[in-house]
A and B are shown apart, each in its own frame.
Chain A
Amino acid sequence: GEDVEQSLFLSVREGDSSVINCTYTDSSSTYLYWYKQEPGAGLQLLTYIFSNMDMKQDQRLTVLLNKKDKHLSLRIADTQTGDSAIYFCAENHGGSQGNLIFGKGTKLSVKP
C-alpha cells in the first residue's frame, strides 16, 4: 500500500541545522516533495526532487534521496525562528492523475 512516514516533532536551536526525515513505500514515485505549512495557512511548496536524483540543493535547503531505502530528508541550514512550521513530505502516486500522498507532517520548533 501507499504510506509516507515522518517523525512528528523536531526541536532545534536557532542557527543549528535541522534534518527532517521521511520514508515512503511507493517505488514508482516519480517526484518527491517538501511542503511547509505555517499555522492557519495553506501548503507552500518548498522544493522537490526527481526520483533519478540523489541530491538537490536550493539555498539553505538540501534534499537527499536514497531510492534504495525509500528515504528522503530535508536539511535546513542555519535554521531561523521563521522556519518554525509543519513540514510535509509527499510522493506522487504515479498511477493516478496528480495524486499526492502526504506524510502526517513534522512540526519543527526553533528555539532562540
Chain B
Amino acid sequence: DAMVIQNPRYQVTQFGKPVTLSCSQTLNHNVMYWYQQKSSQAPKLLFHYYDKDFNNEADTPDNFQSRRPNTSFCFLDIRSPGLGDAAMYLCATSRDSGARADTQYFGPGTRLTVL
C-alpha cells in the first residue's frame, strides 16, 4: 500500500510555464518535505512544512513555492520553470520533526522535463 504518493510520475512543461507537482500521504505525518534531485546528484532539500508552519531553505530560489492545504496534501509550485529546473522532485514525510532525528519516508518522485 502506497504511503507517500506523488502525481504525476512524469511531468513535461515548457520553459516559463507554471507547473504544480502533487504529493499526498496516508501516514498522518506532521512533516512534509520537498527535495530536488538532479541527475547523478544527491537530493537537496528545498523546504518543508511542520504542520502548517513553512520552513524554506536559505538557498531555495523564489521560483519555488509550496502549499499545504491540509495534513495529507502538499504541492510544489514552480512559477517559471527554467531548463535548469529539470530534475526528479521527491516528496517525503516524517512523523514529528524536532531536535531528535525523525525517519523520513519518500514517495516515488516526479520527473520534471522542461522543454
Question: What residues make up the interface of A, taking CB atoms closer than 8 Å to B?
Answer: 4, 29-31, 33, 35, 40-45, 48, 88, 92, 94, 97-100, 102-105
Contact indicator B90/A42 (Cβ below 8 Å): yes
Among candidates A29, A40, A42, A98, residue contacting B97 with C-beta atoms closer than 8 Å: A98
Indicate if B108 sits at the interface (CB-CB under 8 A).
Answer: yes
Interface string of B36-49 (1 = CB under 8 A from A): 00001111110010
Indicate if B81 sits at the interface (CB-CB under 8 A).
Answer: no
Query: How many angstroms between the C-alpha atoms of A100 and B31 in the bound complex?
Result: 13
Contact indicator A102/B43 (Cβ below 8 Å): yes
Of the listed residues B45, B55, B94, the one surrounded by the most CB atoms of chain A closer than 10 A to its CB is B45
Contact indicator B109/A42 (Cβ below 8 Å): yes
Query: How many angstroms between the C-alpha atoms of A105 and B105 in the bound complex?
Result: 17
With known contacts A31-B101, A43-B90, A92-B101, A98–B108 Cβ distance under 8 A = no
With known contacts A40-B111, A98-B33, A98-B48, A45–B105 Cβ distance under 8 A = yes
With known contacts A30-B100, A97-B31, A97-B55, A35–B106 Cβ distance under 8 A = yes
Q: Which residues of B contact A45 (CB under 8 A)?
A: 103-106
Q: How far is the CB of A100 from chain B (nearest CB, A)?
A: 6
Q: Which residues of B contact A103 (CB under 8 A)?
A: 42
Given A42-B6, A48-B103, 19 more A-B residue pairs with CB atoms under 8 Å apart are A30-B101, A35-B106, A40-B109, A42-B90, A42-B109, A43-B43, A43-B90, A44-B106, A45-B105, A88-B43, A92-B101, A94-B99, A97-B31, A97-B48, A98-B94, A100-B104, A102-B44, A105-B40, A105-B42
Q: How far is the CB of A108 from chain B (nearest CB, A)?
A: 15
Query: How many angstroms between the C-alpha atoms of A17 and B62 in the bound complex?
Result: 45
Q: Which residues of A contact B102 (CB under 8 A)?
A: 92, 98
Contact indicator B40/A104 (Cβ below 8 Å): yes
- The 4 A-B pairs at the shortest CB distance, nearest first, are namely A98-B97, A31-B101, A92-B101, A102-B42
Q: Which residues of B contact A102 (CB under 8 A)?
A: 42-44
Query: How many angstroms between the C-alpha atoms of A104 and B92 in the bound complex?
Result: 18
Among candidates A31, A48, A97, A100, residue contacting B50 with C-beta atoms closer than 8 Å: A97
